Structure 1
């Protein structure tokens, strides 16, 4: 794992690596991002509705195929989600968009 990958692991998407608390916060629900440029990050989905979760996410990143592009992450159909705080589901990389 290179240094850039190490900085991303265990961090919440949107938090800077030098943020005083870059990791998950108690009482929040997260989707683990799997694959692609944001692999290993957690996405805070605490306030998302079930249909929002089904739609997945297009996340801004400098690590996209395009400068200032978005990495696309989606849940897998039929994959279980557990209720409550913590990591409740996974979103899988499905590509990039400008």
Structure 2
């Protein structure tokens, strides 16, 4: 794991490095990003509908195969989700796109 990846672990995707507390908030719902360049980050899915979570996410990142491109994360079919605040599910790395 390189220094950039280690710095990101335990943080919420999209929150600034400079944030005093870049970690999760108790009243929000998150998906854990598993594998790939964003491994270990939490993605805030509080306002997502279930079908939006099913569609996965293409997340902009400078850490992927294509700097300035997107890393693709999807749920696994049939994997359970926990409703309410906290960690609801996992999204798994599927590759990068420019």
TM-score (norm 2): 0.95
Residues in 2 aligned to 1:13 and 1:86: alpha-carbon distance in whole angstroms: 15
Q: Which residue of structure 1 lines up, in the alignment, with residue 7 of structure 2?
A: 7
Q: CA deviation at 1:64?
A: 1.4
**Distance in 1 between the 2:37 and 2:2 partners?**
13
Aligned length: 98
Q: Can you list the C-alpha shifts for 1:59-97, whole angstroms capped at 9, x where unaligned?
A: 000011112000000000000001110011000000001
Query: Could you tell me the TM-score, scaled by structure 1's length?
Result: 0.95
Paired position in structure 1 for 2:18: 18
Q: Which runs of 5+ in 2 are unaligned?
A: none
Query: What 5-or-longer segments of structure 1 have no aligned partner?
Result: none
RMSD between aligned residues: 1.0
d(CA) in 2 for partners of 1:43 and 1:67?
Answer: 20
